[in-house]
Amino acid sequence: MQTIFVVDDSGMNLVVVKDALKDNYRVMTLPSAAKMFSLIEKLKPDLILLDVFMPEMDGFEAIKLLKNNEQYANIPVIFLSSTIDDSIKERGEKSGVVDFVLKPFEKAELLEKIAKCLQ
């Protein structure tokens, strides 16, 4: 079973995403990018769903660290955000984000985007 890290500072979002994915994937929910970096040393995910706006370290900072580390650079990252405007898309794409999911999301859309990224 493929492993997905879900990184979001909202506990409710973590529950909703885990519930949507649990039948198809091994889901690890993490409340911060710092927690993600602690876990990634022990368990490398197949994909990361990363919230853009979080305190301490936001999604842009986190993906920069991921992409600058050759152990993790090839892990696909999908940005999760309640706001996805052109500047976020442009910055995300330049940073290496493979796709974007607008919160609140449709379960079918999320599963489709994840499947596409994991092919």
**Each residue's pLDDT tens digit, 9-23:** 999 999 999 999 999
pLDDT of residue 14: 96
Work out how many domains the chain is built from and give that number.
Answer: 1
Q: Band of the pLDDT at 56, cuts 50, 70, 90?
A: very high
Q: Decide if 102 contacts 78 (C-beta within 8 A).
A: no
User: What is the rounded average pLDDT of the residues 100-115?
Assistant: 94
Given this model, what pLDDT does residue 13 score? 94
Q: Examine the pLDDT at 83 and tell me if it is beyond 90.
A: no
pLDDT in the model for residue 84: 82
Q: What is residue 17's predicted lDDT score, i.e. its pLDDT?
A: 96
- Phi then psi dihedrals of residue 58, to 5 deg: -85, 175
Range of the domain at 77: 3-118
Provide the pLDDT for residue 26: 98
Contact 30, 9 (CB under 8 A): no
Radius of gyration of the CA atoms of the chain, in A: 13
* Mean pLDDT, rounded, of the chain: 95
CATH number for the domain spanning 99: value is 3.40.50.2300
Q: Which two tokens stand for residue 84?
A: 């996805």
